[in-house]
Structure 1
Amino acid sequence: MKKSQPRIVIRRKRNVAESKHNSSWKIAYADFMTAMMAFFLVMWLLSLVPQKDLQAIAEYFRMPLMTAVTGGPKNESGSSVIPAGASSVIPNPSPIPSRGDVHTEGDLRDVQRLESLKTELEDLIKTDPVLQQFSPQLLLDMTPDGLRVQIIDKQNRPMFATGSALVQSYMRDILRQLGPVFNKLPNSISIAGHTDSIQYATGEREYSNWELSADRANAARKELVAGGMDEPKIKRILGLAASVSLIKDNPAAAVNRRISIVVLNSRAERRIDEQNASAASAATLKDLLEPAPAPVPGGAVPGLPDLLELPVKPLSPVGQ
């Protein structure tokens, strides 16, 4: 048997370049961990903040960037101390209530009812043949006080006779159509009249735009009541003349002549009632309720001397 030959193994050493250690991933990982730690820290802090403060923080991020940088005036529709100018592109589903107001469950249900009323009015304007032709003159929007319906004037189709509170026939139809719709909710109504900046020849001394705007608001009230709305629903009548122009750059424009009807929410009604209550102080009521002093026998007025007992000085001749 043939002896097997030994196997020859040749080992060749390869020159492999040692790989350099790349530690850049450690920096990215450290940044990631820092960001996560900051995120969880912020989440923990937000869990300790009350709900009303969270709404204020949300309002801050709704502020336009340019306004935040330039420090513009604060938004008129809110009571936040954070400056805000033009309306933000981020919707605000729950605006911050004014100071002293609290969002209760009743307030939230009230807002939902007003939103439903707004939708109903929009559908009515689209379908009703009387309101459909005047849809460009009807503006609906939600305000902090409630649902506002504005009926604006047009140059060729004014709501009232020129310079008077005489309601035009089509304006009467619009108001009488809206009356029964407002009557569906228990909310009160506020009516305000507005005019343009063109004054009467007598200026503000006699009958002016202030009286005209108040008379037109009262005329709108009469038509709403005639249409079927309960008269006790009227909370207040305002005549604002040209103090609140719809187009501020052109106060003489026809669209500034308008009637604003606000279906007040519960918070606005409470605020108005509180203002009226604070105006009547206890001392004033006490003075008003005090009985009149009893008459003194002989017809003399208490606190005044008897005129018959005063000395009479003789008249001197003329010329001396």
Structure 2
Amino acid sequence: MKTLNQAQPIIVRRIVKKGKPHGGAWKVAFADFAVAMMAFFLVLWLSQSATTEEKQAIAGYFEDPIGFTEGGSPSVIDLGGAVSIKVVDDPDSIPISQPEIKLEESQAQDIVDQVEQRKLRSLMNVILEQIERSPTLREYRDQLKLDITDEGLRIQIVDKQGRPMFDTGSAELKEYSREIINELAPTISRVDNKLVVSGHTDARPFPGFAGYSNWELSSDRANAARRALVEGGLPEDHISRVVGLASSSLYDSSEPFNPINRRITILVLNRRAALIMEDAEQVNPGEDQIVPAPVRVPPPVAKPDSVDSAAARSMDDIMQKLDERGVTREEPEQVPADAKPAPAKPAADNLVW
């Protein structure tokens, strides 16, 4: 039996944790959060201190990053290390200390082409929005094809099975086709670019009368589309050319008889394509070209008053031609009015030898 003075045993319990420690992962997460907060407050500070032009530059970058980088400085905000180009309407507002910027011709041409490309792309977006808003265009949006080519903005109005723009063999626009072109005309006229209107047919031969083929039919249809554009409000001087291409440029070359090949194309030319077309039309005669001789219209011949006057004029013409050829002629001897006639010579039989 234990006594009261006997020491009590001390029991120490040790808890052993077998799991791995957390480590420093939380430090990385906290650092990312701090960096994000710093970037957020930096954006707020820049938005507060930025000018209106710089805010427009930022907005332009986020709307079209590729076009913005190709069209100017890659820096969203000009920090003084790159050249910034600002277009002003009033030349008097340009600062005197503005440094002169010199660009090579190729660089200037690239800038102009990029601006032109952006303008045509903006026009295409406006037309696409118009198609969605307009009940007339929205109903036929599957027949409207828009794309950007090397020559400009191409708008194609194609036929559909059971819904053609023209009757077979006719160049008269159907009513809904006329409404489509009339609604597109005001939007296209927002830009001052030249237009080319072309008509296309499928590969099926024209079944009409002789001497009238798909070439004439496509030309007449293109001209009908031109009249509809002008009727819709497009200035007539915006149209540069109206052509008929028949089936030489098929939309679906794998199926030449496909109704989609029958279409009207409205091409909004860019600046480069318009200049090329103007240069092609202004052909100067050169050494290798045959210049036709001018057509000379003979003067009208008056009816002679008498036979004698006609004979006299004919004789004068003959004498003039002889003079031109260098033929000499003897003038008749002028006899004075009071001279006596010479005695007649005797005949040879009466002579005395």
TM tier, shorter chain?
0.5 to 0.7
| Post-superposition offset of 1:240 | 0.5
Partner of 2:178: 172
The superposition leaves residues 172-230 of structure 1 with CA deviations (integer Å, 9 ceiling, x where unpaired) of: 00000011111110101001100011112468x51110000000000000000000000
Q: Is 1:131–2:137 an aligned residue pair?
A: yes
Quickly say closer, same or farther: Cα 1:285–1:179, change in 2 above 3 A.
Answer: farther
Contact 1:141–1:147 (Cα < 8 Å) also in 2? yes
Distance of 1:231 and 1:251 partners within structure 2: 33
Q: Which residue of 2 aligns with 1:234?
A: 239
User: Are the equivalent residues in 1 in contact too, given 2:169–2:207 (CA < 8 A)?
Assistant: no
Of 190, 207, 224, the residue aligned with 1:219 is: 224
Measured after TM superposition, the shift of residue 258 of structure 1 is 0.3
Letter in 2 for 1:222: R
1:103 aligns with 109
Aligned match of 1:199 in 195, 205, 221? 205
In the other structure, the counterpart of 2:169 is: 163
Shift of the 295–148 alpha-carbon distance from structure 1 to 2, 3 Å rule, reads same
Name the SS of the counterpart of 2:251 in structure 1. Answer: coil
Q: Given the two structures, how large is their TM-score scaled by the length of structure 2?
A: 0.52
Q: Cα deviation per residue 1:30-66 (whole Å; 9 max; x = unaligned)? A: xxxxxxxxxxxxxxxxxxxxxxxxxxxxxxxxxxxxx
Structure 1 residue 296, shift from structure 2 partner: 8.8
- Measure the CA separation in 2 of the matches of 1:285 and 1:188: 29
Percent identity, please: 37
Amino acid at match of 1:175: I
CA distance in 1, matches of 2:199, 2:154: 13
Measured in 1, the distance between the counterparts of 2:241 and 2:107 equals 21
**AA of the residue aligned to 1:112:** R
1:252 & 1:245 partners in 2: Cα distance? 9
Which of 141, 144, 154 lines up with 1:148 in the alignment?
154
Corresponding letter in the other structure for 2:172? L
> 1:110 and 1:268 mapped to 2: Cα distance?
11
Q: 1:283 to 1:230 in 2, by over 3 A?
A: farther
Question: Within the alignment, does 1:187 sit opposite 2:193 as a pair?
Answer: yes
Conserved in 1, the CA contact under 8 Å of 2:131 and 2:141? yes
Residue 109 of structure 2 aligns to a residue whose secondary structure is coil
How far 1:286 moved relative to its partner? Answer: 12
Alpha-carbon RMSD across the aligned residues, in angstroms, is 3.4
Question: Counterparts of 1:224 and 1:217 in 2: how far apart (Å)?
Answer: 11
Q: Secondary structure at the match of 2:177?
A: helix
Consecutive unaligned residues of structure 1, counting only runs of 5 or more, are 1-92, 95-99, 300-305, 310-320
1:106 to partner: Cα distance: 2.7
Which structure has the larger Rg over C-alpha atoms? 2
SS of the residue corresponding to residue 103 of structure 1 reads helix
Summarize deviations over 1:260-284 as a string: whole Å, max 9, x none.
1100000000000111112x42689
- Whether contact under 8 Å (1:101, 1:267) holds in the other structure is no
**287-296 vs 218-227, which deviates more?**
287-296
Structure 1 residue 105: Cα displacement: 2.9
Q: Deviations over 1:221-245 (max 9, x none)?
A: 0000000000000010110001111
**SS of residue paired to 1:263:** strand
Task: Map residues 273-312 of structure 1 onto 2, 5 A cutoff.
Answer: 273-278=278-283, 280-281=284-285, 295=299
Give the unaligned 5+ runs of structure 2: 1-68, 71-105, 304-313, 319-353
